[in-house]
Amino acid sequence: MKAEKLNERRYWLFIILAGLFVTNAVTAELISNKLIQIPIEFTLFGSQFGPFATIVGILPWPVVFLLTDLMNEFYGQKAVRRLSWITAGLIAYCFIIVGISLAIPAYEIKGSDLADNASYLKVFGQSQMIIVGSICAFLVSQLLDAFLFDKIKHKTGNRFIWLRSTGSTVVSQLIDSYIVLYVGFVLPGKMSFGTYMSVAPTNYILKLIIAVGLTPLIYLGHYFVRRYLNQSKDSSTEITH
């Protein structure tokens, strides 16, 4: 493959991955004001876990996990760090626009299916501290994920894709699970510390299950990216600019 064409493919691949990353992260934050139940139950060390109650915003996060690992692998820690900062800024910007829209009274038409002030506020009126907690958790977990991924990759080379992908996600999401609940609920007094210490581990276990379950998709993603970029399995994966 000619160098010019290969560079163009690398460029457009990054644009697509970054676009999907930002879209899923922002969407996850926007739809998080709704609880759902995940019917998974199991016993671990004598304790019963599940079914899990969590926010519906968890649905796009598996895609974010997968995209983070692919960009870590093929573009390196620096690119992921920059994109994480940009995404955190875009999430904040999104909530600023939502906040402005909440301050503008709805024009209510009798018999219309359009949202009135009360229903619009119920859907989009998330607590400011929950928003702050979500952004802090996202940024810290993504930067930690990129750092750990890079450290594991330098130790193992191109071997053990599952270890650097799942390992970095497992640790970073542990931090994420505790930060978002502490900043969003404990600090403003909406959740006791005792409840926090019981809810946070449950949320983390759910994310852990997702991270482990994504392992086959990580290998599949590597296969398609290598094929698209015409790379061999044993070649250096990180793309330099």
Quick: pLDDT tens for 44-61: 777 777 777 777 878 888
Residue at 130 is within a domain: yes
Residue 208 forms part of a structural domain: yes
In a domain, 95, yes or no: yes
pLDDT of residue 81: 94
Question: 184 with 133: CB under 8 angstroms?
Answer: yes
How many domains is the chain built from?
A: 1
108 occurs within a structural domain = yes
- pLDDT tens column, 130-146: 888 889 999 999 999 99
Q: Is 234 inside any structural domain?
A: no
**In the predicted structure, residue 1 carries a pLDDT above the cut 70:** no
Name the residue range of residue 91's domain.
3-229
CATH code of the domain containing 37: 1.10.1760
Task: Please state the pTM of the whole predicted model.
Answer: 0.83
How do residues 135-175 score in pLDDT, each as one tens digit? 999 999 999 999 999 999 888 887 888 888 888 888 888 88
In sequence order, which residues have a C-beta less than 8 Å from that of residue 157 and are 6 or more positions away? Answer: none
Domain membership flag for residue 236: no
Residue 92 pLDDT: 93
Q: Which of 17-26, 96-105, 188-197 has the lowest mean pLDDT?
A: 188-197
Q: Is 240 within a domain?
A: no
Cβ atoms of 21 and 83 within 8 Å: the answer is yes
Q: What is the pLDDT of residue 43?
A: 80
When the pLDDT of each residue in the chain is averaged and rounded to a whole number, the result is 85
* Residue 154 is assigned to a structural domain of this protein: yes
Measured distance CA(176)–CA(154) in Å, rounded: 24
